[in-house]
């Protein structure tokens, strides 16, 4: 599997697990994050998406220079229903994090809530804790978004 298709569409975090996916030709699978960190990221993404009914995706890497516009372009292709998608784009080299919410997701995740999550993420990133910041930001976002109407008990 080459790199390019992965960037046209996201992939799951544990896709790179050695039990699931023995892709040795690609090089080091845990080059960026260790397997333990990947498992944390994967669980955070999956659980927050399951709880909220929104679709959280995480991009880690360089963003082209108008980072906001690039993140919005990525968001537009992040899934089949970008309206309900939330993209968290982290560029550690540029020290930028962008959270993009679709129209449907923005109703449950107002910009103020996103700004709060971004604030907690950046304070963790400034300490060098990428994975911890991402996981906490995801937790904050999913707490704010709550459960979808179909899952609410009453």
Partner 1 sequence: MTVAETLLVYAGIPLAFVLVLALLTLRPGADRRPRYKPGQPWNHAPVWYEPHPATVGGHGPAPSHGPAAVPGSGTAALGSSMYPEQPGERALDANAGAGPQVALGTQDSHHGGATAARSPQAAGPLGGARGTW
Q: Which of 39, 40, 53, 144 is close enough to bind partner 1 by CB under 8 A? A: 53
Q: Tell me if 18 contacts partner 1 by CB under 8 A.
A: no
Q: Tell me if 142 contacts partner 1 by CB under 8 A.
A: no
Q: Tell me if 143 contacts partner 1 by CB under 8 A.
A: no
Please, which contacts does 30-36 make with residues 24 or more away whose CB atoms are closer than 8 Å? 32/60, 33/130, 33/131
Where does residue 100 rank: exposed (0-12), middle (13-18), buried (19+ CB within 10 A)? buried
Q: Which of 39, 40, 72, 139 is close enough to bind partner 1 by CB under 8 A? A: 72
Q: Which of 59, 135, 140, 145 is close enough to bind partner 1 by CB under 8 A? A: 59
- Residue 39 CA to residue 62 CA, distance in Å, equals 22
Q: Tell me if 126 contacts partner 1 by CB under 8 A.
A: yes
- Beta bridge mates, 85: 55
Minimum Å distance from CB 45 to partner 1?
A: 4
């Amino acid at each position: 599997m080459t790199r390019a298709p992965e960037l046209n569409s996201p992939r799951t975090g544990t896709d790179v697990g050695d039990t699931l996916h023995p892709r040795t030709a690609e090089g080091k699978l845990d080059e960026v994050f260790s397997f333990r960190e990947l498992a944390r990221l994967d669980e955070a993404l999956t659980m927050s998406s399951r709880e909220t009914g929104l679709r959280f995706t995480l991009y880690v890497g360089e963003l082209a220079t108008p980072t906001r516009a690039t993140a919005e372009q990525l968001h537009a292709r992040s899934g089949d229903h970008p309206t309900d998608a939330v993209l968290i784009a982290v560029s550690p080299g540029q020290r930028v994090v962008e959270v993009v919410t679709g129209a449907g997701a923005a109703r449950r995740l107002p910009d103020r809530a996103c700004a709060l999550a971004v604030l907690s993420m950046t304070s963790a990133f400034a300490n060098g804790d990428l994975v911890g910041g991402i996981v906490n930001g995801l937790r904050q976002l999913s707490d704010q978004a709550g459960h979808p109407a179909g899952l609410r008990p009453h």
